[in-house]
Amino acid sequence: MTKVSMNVNGKKVSRDVPDETLLSDFLREKLRLTGTHVGCDTSQCGACVVHVNGKAVKSCTTLAVSLEGAEVTTIEGLANGKELHPMQVAFNDNHGLQCGFCTPGMIMTSVDMVARYKAEGRKLTSDLIRQELEGNICRCTGYHNIVKSIEDASAKM
């Protein structure tokens, strides 16, 4: 067992965990933050994406004990109180929610994507959005409404 402490959604948390504990299990089972989903467990589907120190990572292949002192944000921490994040609003407005299981990971990836392109002063086209989403698998509709949602949020963020 190793004691690990990190800030999750702005709150300091500490737990004793086996060294092999994955961040996804830490969030879901230790903290009951079940908005982070596990679809594949092999780093392919993206349902488990959260932010670590502001960057999107797959929590199913990140060890919790490697994140001592890290800032972690999950889908539960994205809204500002009752005010949804612009990406959440855009997914709602453009019906990007689709099946729902993948949505938290899609949104966390999308927020990182838009922030990264804005920081680099690069234009985020729909082709680039599709490329950037390669780590998030959607099996339901071919991404159309997800791409529309990200374009909408990108104009507002």
Binding interface with ligand FES (CB under 6 A): 38-41, 43-48, 58, 60, 98-99, 101-103, 138-141
At 15, phi and psi to the nearest 5? -145, 150
User: Smallest gap, in angstroms, from Cβ of residue 123 to ligand FES?
Assistant: 25
User: Smallest gap, in angstroms, from Cβ of residue 50 to ligand FES?
Assistant: 10
Comparison of 14 and 142: residue with beta carbon closer to ligand FES: 142
Comparison of 102 and 153: residue with beta carbon closer to ligand FES: 102
Alpha-carbon distance of 117 to 71, in angstroms, equals 21
Contact 75/12 with Cβ under 8 angstroms? no
User: Smallest gap, in angstroms, from Cβ of residue 122 to ligand FES?
Assistant: 25
- Cα angle vertex 109, ends 23, 150, to 5°? 155
Comparison of 8 and 47: residue with beta carbon closer to ligand FES: 47
Contact 113/49 with Cβ under 8 angstroms? no
Contact 8/31 with Cβ under 8 angstroms? yes
Comparison of 46 and 77: residue with beta carbon closer to ligand FES: 46
